[in-house]
Chains A and B, each alone.
Chain A
Amino acid sequence: MRRSVSIAGLAAALVLGALGFGTGQKSHVASAQEKMSMMEVKIDNFTFGPATLTVPLGTTVTWINKDDIPHTVVSTDDSKTLKSKVLDTDEKFSFTFSKAGTYPYFCSIHPKMIGKVIVQ
Chain B
Amino acid sequence: MHPFDIRAALLAKHAQHVVLIHFPIALFIIAVLFDFLAQWKRQRLPAAAAYYNLLVAAIATIPVVVTGILAWQWELEGQKLKGILLTHLVMGCASTVLIWVVWFIHRRSRRNQEEILPGYRLPIEAVAVVIVALTGHLGGFLSGVNGPG
Binding site for B on A (CB under 8 A): 45-47, 69-70, 72, 85-86, 88, 108-112
A45-B147, A85-B79, A109-B76 known; A70+B142 contact, CB < 8 A: yes
Whether A110 pairs with B12 at a CB distance below 8 angstroms is: no
Given contacts A46-B144, A46-B147, A111-B12, 12 further A-B contacts (CB under 8 A): A47-B148, A69-B141, A85-B79, A86-B79, A88-B82, A88-B83, A108-B75, A108-B76, A109-B76, A110-B144, A112-B144, A112-B149
Indicate if B62 sits at the interface (CB-CB under 8 A): no
* CB–CB B81/A69 < 8 A: no
Size of B's binding interface in residues, CB under 8 A: 17
Q: Are A70 and B84 in contact (CB under 8 A)?
A: yes
Report A68 CB to chain B, min CB distance, Å: 8
Q: How far is the CB of A118 from chain B (nearest CB, A)?
A: 23
DSSP class of B's interface residues: helix, strand, loop or mixed?
loop
A residues near B85, Cβ cutoff 8 Å: 70, 86
- A-chain residues with CB within 8 Å of residue B143 when the two chains form the complex: 110
Digit string of B122-149 for contact with A (CB within 8 Å is 1, else 0)?
0000000000000000000111100111
11 pairs, CB–CB < 8 Å, chain A vs chain B: A45-B148, A47-B148, A70-B84, A70-B85, A70-B142, A85-B79, A86-B82, A88-B82, A109-B75, A109-B76, A110-B147
Chain B residue contacts of A85, Cβ below 8 A: 79
- Given that A46-B144, A47-B148 are contacting pairs, would A72 and B83 also be in contact in the complex, using a CB cutoff of 8 Å? no
Which residues in chain B, 13-69, are within 8 Å of chain A measured between CB atoms? 14
Contact status B12-A69, CB under 8 Å: no
Which one of A45, A109, A111 contacts B142 once the chains associate, using CB atoms below 8 Å? A109
| B76–A69 touching, CB < 8 Å | no
Residues of B within 8 A of A109 (CB): 14, 75-76, 142
Task: Please state if B84 and A69 are interface contacts (CB–CB under 8 Å).
Answer: yes
Give CA–CA (A69, B143) in the complex, Å: 9
10 closest A-B pairs by beta carbon, nearest first, are: A46-B147, A108-B75, A110-B144, A88-B83, A46-B144, A85-B79, A86-B79, A46-B148, A70-B85, A86-B76
Report B53-104 residues with CB < 8 Å from chain A CB. 75-76, 79, 81-85
When distances are taken between beta carbons in the complex, the residues of chain B under 8 Å from A88 are 82-83
